[in-house]
Amino acid sequence: MKKHTSIEKLLIFLMFLFSPYLWADGILLTSVTTEICNLLDKKSPSLNKELIEFYHNRKCLPAWSNESGVDPQAISLLYVLNHSNEEGLNNDDPVYHRKNILTLMESISLESYKKSNPIALAQLDILLTDGYMTLGKHLYYGVLPREAFIKEWSIPKKKPMNIGDHLHDALENKNIQASLEELSPSSHGYQTLKKLLLEYLKIPNKSGSNETNSSLNSDIEEKITIIRLNMERWRWVPDVHERSYILVNIPDFSLSVIKEEKTALKIKAIVGKKKRETPIFNATLKYIVVNPYWNVPITILREDIFPKVRKNISYLKKEKIRLFKQGNDKKEINPYTINWKDADANSFPYRLRQDTGAKNVLGRLKFVFPNSRDIYIHDTPSKYLFDKDVRTFSSGCVRIKEPIKFANYLLKNDNNGWGDKNISTLINKGSHKSIFLATPIKVQIQYWTVWVDDEGVANFRDDVYGYDKNLAKLLGW
């Protein structure tokens, strides 16, 4: 006997659905309702709380069938499930019940000539509801909760969504497909990746399996996986449509100013090395420091400074690093009075501060967006590092190649009366000064290994921190 494909099964169902004989005997709605209650009473572990609550609110009344038969909204859901791979999901994932739904629909269609089958209709109803809820939550929150992948994301979570209420409204308004589409991210980055994914999914169909060599197929599959992984990360973040914001994309080693979804400025950047990764978070850039001091962080004090000072205490003088009592910048401490051998960075009562100037590791400009990680954007005296293709050299902060260009852009586009002045004038004076923006600008530090640029060109980057690799492993992709 020939096995039908999913699409063929769907066509068979549609044919029977609209047959004038399909529901000739009628369906007892009360019987289906009773069977749904019976199935829920069994308290199967596969039945989640949201599904149980959904039917409890309906008093077990079926959501996807009535006295006339299976509601056409079930076809709409099946269509979305069939096409969920276009959202970067796996439409064959058993959690969506796609194949079981098709099998039940075909069975119900064939049996309806003889008699109604309330048990099968109840099973179908629950599968459809669970399929909708699972797909809806995956589109909205992501397949994998972001906390399961990385715990320390300083990015706001999405507002909680009641999938039961969402389904209820969708059924009432008969807009199942649209209701699911609106749950996926509306952000420009996600939507452009969705279009890109569709293009790649069509490639094998255009080329033909016989003409496409294994190397090309492998490359296409790899790119499809990368796109899907980035779409998953997009589902973890809220849709924020800022008019303008700063984007630091770690795998691209770049800082961009995005205005009206277009790149207004792009600068080369250096990010954290693998053992001191630049974290992913959102913040707000509030001010620029001209000729900044550098207050040595605890990690660098413990892992970098202490070993060098213990080897040669004159290192501090050479690098123009001074000691101060914690909380007192006026009283400088003689480094020769410190027992460096037994010093502990976690309980060290002194603060190390590097003077402003050419040797300062922050360079001449520091861009501050207050955050718990003490991460900021800054200049660097090590300009030669920007010639490297892979730029993972910092201890977590973001160094940029053209800080003056960046500062002038921010100030000239800020309503603070800056006008045509150039920040180089302040730098050359050597004074230590903070300039606050009249309108602070959002900063997003993100990890995108693929995106579509303003010209519509797909850009793929190496997985420098292994985030794609780890996420693919967790998802089984």
If one counts the domains in the chain, the total is: 4
> Do 432 and 283 have their domain in common?
yes
454 in a domain, yes or no?
A: no
The candidate with the shortest Cα–Cα distance to 237, out of 348, 120, 142, 335, is 142
453 in a domain, yes or no?
A: no
> Do 156 and 15 have their domain in common?
yes
d(CA 25, CA 287): 75
Q: Could you report the per-residue pLDDT of 252-286, keeping only the tens digit for each?
A: 999 999 999 999 999 999 999 998 999 999 999 99
Q: Write out the E strands in 370-418.
A: 377-378, 392-394, 398-400
d(CA 471, CA 286): 33
224 in a domain, yes or no?
A: yes
The candidate with the shortest Cα–Cα distance to 31, out of 125, 109, 102, is 125
Residue recorded with tokens 């706001």: 156
> Do 40 and 174 have their domain in common?
yes
Q: Is the pLDDT of residue 344 over 70?
A: yes
Q: Could you report the per-residue pLDDT of 91-142, keeping only the tens digit for each?
A: 999 999 999 999 888 887 766 544 568 898 999 999 999 999 999 999 999 9
Q: Could you report the per-residue pLDDT of 220-237, keeping only the tens digit for each?
A: 999 999 999 999 999 999
Please give the C-alpha separations between residue 443 and each of 240, 248, 398, in angstroms, as whole numbers. Answer: 12, 8, 12
Q: Is the pLDDT of residue 59 over 50?
A: yes
d(CA 179, CA 133): 11
Mean of pLDDT over the chain: 89
Q: Which of 324, 355, 386 is the last residue of a domain?
A: 355
Q: Is the pLDDT of residue 150 over 80?
A: no
Helical spans, DSSP H, in 281-372: 298-300, 306-311, 315-318
Predicted confidence band at 9 (pLDDT cuts at 50, 70, 90)?
A: low
Residue recorded with tokens 């009075």: 337
Instruction: Decide the pairing of beta strands 262-272 and 365-368.
Output: unpaired
217 in a domain, yes or no?
A: yes
Residue recorded with tokens 């190390």: 352
459 in a domain, yes or no?
A: no
Indicate the helix (H) or strand (E) that contains 254: strand 254-259
Instruction: Decide the pairing of beta strands 262-272 and 392-394.
Output: parallel
Angle at CA of residue 296, ends 291 and 302, nearest 5°:
160
395 in a domain, yes or no?
A: yes
How many residues belong to the chain? Answer: 477
Q: In the prediction, which pLDDT does 366 show? A: 98
Q: Which of 181, 203, 219 is the last residue of a domain?
A: 181
Please give the C-alpha separations between residue 342 and each of 256, 302, 307, 460, in angstroms, as whole numbers. Answer: 44, 12, 12, 48
Q: Write out the E strands in 15-79.
A: 65-66, 69-70
Q: In the prediction, which pLDDT does 106 show? A: 82
CATH of the domain at 387: 2.40.440.10
74 in a domain, yes or no?
A: yes
Q: Which of 166, 181, 196 is the last residue of a domain?
A: 181
> Do 79 and 165 have their domain in common?
yes
> Do 284 and 317 have their domain in common?
no
> Do 90 and 176 have their domain in common?
yes
Instruction: Please name the residues in contact with 187: beta carbons below 8 A apart, sequence gap of 6 or more.
Output: 234, 237, 239, 240, 241
> Do 230 and 371 have their domain in common?
no
Q: Which domain holds residue 348?
A: 295-355
CB atoms within 10 A of CB 348: 16
> Do 379 and 418 have their domain in common?
yes
> Do 276 and 389 have their domain in common?
yes
Q: What is the 3-state secondary structure (H, E, C) of 67-121?
A: CCEECCHHHHHHHHHHCHHHHCCCCCCHHHCHHHHHHHHHHHHHHCCCCCCHHHH
Q: In the prediction, which pLDDT does 47 show? A: 85
> Do 327 and 367 have their domain in common?
no
24 in a domain, yes or no?
A: yes
> Do 287 and 387 have their domain in common?
yes
> Do 260 and 365 have their domain in common?
yes
Q: pTM of the entire structure?
A: 0.90
